[in-house]
Chains A and B, each alone.
Chain A
Amino acid sequence: MVVPFVYAFNILNLYFFMFRIMVLLILKTKFERERTMDGIIDIKDLCFRYSQENEKLDLSHVDLHVNEGEWLAVIGHNGSGKSTLAKAIDGLIEPESGEIFVDGQKLTEESLWNIRKKIGMVFQNPDNQFVGADVEGDVAFGLENQGIEREEMHIRVKEALQVVNMQDFAKHEPVRLSGGQKQRVAIAGVLALRPKIVIFDESTSMLDPEGRMQIISLIKQMNREEGFTVISITHDIDEASLADRVVVVDDGKIMGDSLPEELFQKGNELIDLGLDVPYPQRLKFELNKRGIQTPSEYMDEGSMVNWLSRSILKN
């Protein structure tokens, strides 16, 4: 009979079809995993010196890997080379040797402009970054430079100002803004260009405490909600504590790569690395000096408050 044969054939065919889909799915996930392993930034054996007369390298055999969507904090004392590293990634300085890959593309003279479109940089002093006559004009400046159409420009400026919560200030003059607000406008200018990576080079260090907290929570929002890859070069312990990973730069070399909470256990050593000692650590140190034993593991502020109040209030 013909009919059962057709059934049999169809079932076989179906099995075969399903098998093919499974193989494809497995291959696809494997491929995707490999892609993310590539990282959005890969630095291989990078060396740089500012002047040929310098005996010492200003960046010395740096290897660094940054994953897409990651928040990486780079710490180190003044003059350690951390800002130089950021400049190298953006192609602002030319390495002596080594390679930099950004989003799968090798950084060369030819690829430079394409790569810079993928990277936004926010610097320390908000006053040095203002070019427009009003907030809107300032955010539009980078877009004008790239020859973006006027209509598209309007949309992007509006969007960017919304992300940094400065839409109500579109027509304001920069002089009337606080430091934190100016820095938010600078960030909007960067966002309007739709980069994949945003590098913050000590962007909170000149702000008052309120402005500082605003920018830190904005960085967090950009990373966690908007999916930007963030590199923050910082001396700020609060900023570093929010990162996924902290890299320590000293003397132009990468000296450490760890989770924030691992790093914070170092106590007073952190001062030499260009960071403050987290408050609970400092308090522990003072308590130990007075003969009070404290738990040895790292505690953040919340757990330190809990531990202290429990120990005091139980008797």
Chain B
Amino acid sequence: MVKSIHIEKLNYVYQSGTPFSRRALTDVSLDIKTGSYTAIIGHTGSGKSTLLQHLNGLLKPTSGSLTVAGNHITSETKNKELNELRHHVGFVFQFPEAQLFEETVLKDIAFAPKNFGKSDEEAEQVAAKMATLVGLPDSVLDSSPFELSGGQMRRVAIAGVLAMEPQILVLDEPTAGLDPKGRLEMMEMFEQLHQEQHLTIILVTHQMNDVANYADHVVVMENGGLIANSTPERVFSDPDWLHKHHLGLPQTTAFAAKLAKQGVPFETLPLTEKQLAEKLAELMPQSGGELHG
């Protein structure tokens, strides 16, 4: 598989060379494959955001290097050279709808491609396509983005990011503040982009259920370093380790751990309710009539 992102011994120090210098990342090495879905978990202050900001050149390493979509970045890289990188990496920050500003939905989505040198017509064509992709109905394209519901405003903002046609989509808690239905729809939309558009997805989240349901890879950060870099199955197989690092379990895994305590045999703890139901169906007495009441 092609490496989409290659990070080698990345160190970052805030306000380096001053009395206020603070080390935020220490020797981070990480590979992310093209087309993969990676979840980054860890507490506030663990270095997640600092790491993310390197991926589109908002920050440059103090030492070490990273290669993102073919662009090599070190402390020496000129700011001008980072432009190319920003074409390839789309960022959805928390509450992206706060960044909407245009008069109409279509214009707002078309802003980025126009800014990157596309003609008005081309940009609006791309914008219309992206609006469909994120599930916005055509009827809203000419209305003001501020008349839409919170969930729809967020879709507009995300369409704006997709309109740059990035290869890598970085999502920083993209469902914060949405209700459960909105959250599910949003996560399913990203899954579709991952499956159909083959976007490489990097998701920063506190929602362990989302990690279990969507990610194929998990990176756990603490104090500016990686403490795990593995699959969800491996990371969630050790509840004690997670507890020690103040991290939660997906609901299914937590539930299965309770069953295991009662003596129900599991070889590995399941991650999703479908997996758990499958396993329970094997273990349960199959004759439907046996159950009373």
Contact = CB atoms under 8 A, between A and B. Distances in A.
A313 B262 contact: yes
A282 interface: yes
Contacts of A77: 179, 181-182
Nearest to B274: A286
A179 B44 contact: yes
B35 interface: no
Nearest to A306: B262
Given A179-B44, A305-B259, A313-B264, A292 B181 contact: no
Interface stretch (B81-89, B119-127, B281-289): B281-289
A315 interface: yes
A235 B179 contact: yes
B179 A274 contact: yes
Nearest to B260: A309
Given A79-B150, A290-B281, A205 B177 contact: yes
Contact of B180 (A274, A279, A305, A306): A274
Interface stretch (A100-108, A165-173, A206-214, A243-251): A206-214
A78 B151 contact: yes
B177 A283 contact: no
Contacts of B44: 178-179, 208
A293 interface: yes
B278 A290 contact: yes
Contacts of B178: 78
Interface in A276-315: 276, 279, 282-283, 286-287, 289-293, 295, 301, 304-306, 308-309, 311-313, 315
A242 interface: no
B276 interface: yes
Given A208-B206, A274-B179, A274-B181, A291 B262 contact: no
Given A283-B273, A291-B288, A206 B176 contact: yes
Interface residues of A, number: 39
A287 B259 CA distance: 15
A284 to B, nearest CB: 9
Contacts, number: 97
B251 A279 contact: yes
Interface of A: 77-79, 124, 178-179, 202, 205-206, 208-210, 235, 271-272, 274-276, 279, 282-283, 286-287, 289-293, 295, 301, 304-306, 308-309, 311-313, 315
A241 to B, nearest CB: 14
A315 B176 contact: no
B16 to A, nearest CB: 20
Contacts of A289: 277
A62 to B, nearest CB: 20
Contacts of A286: 273-274, 276-277
13 contacts: A78-B149, A79-B150, A206-B177, A208-B43, A208-B44, A210-B246, A283-B277, A286-B274, A286-B277, A289-B277, A309-B264, A311-B291, A313-B262
Contact of B281 (A202, A209, A291): A291
B219 to A, nearest CB: 17
B117 interface: no
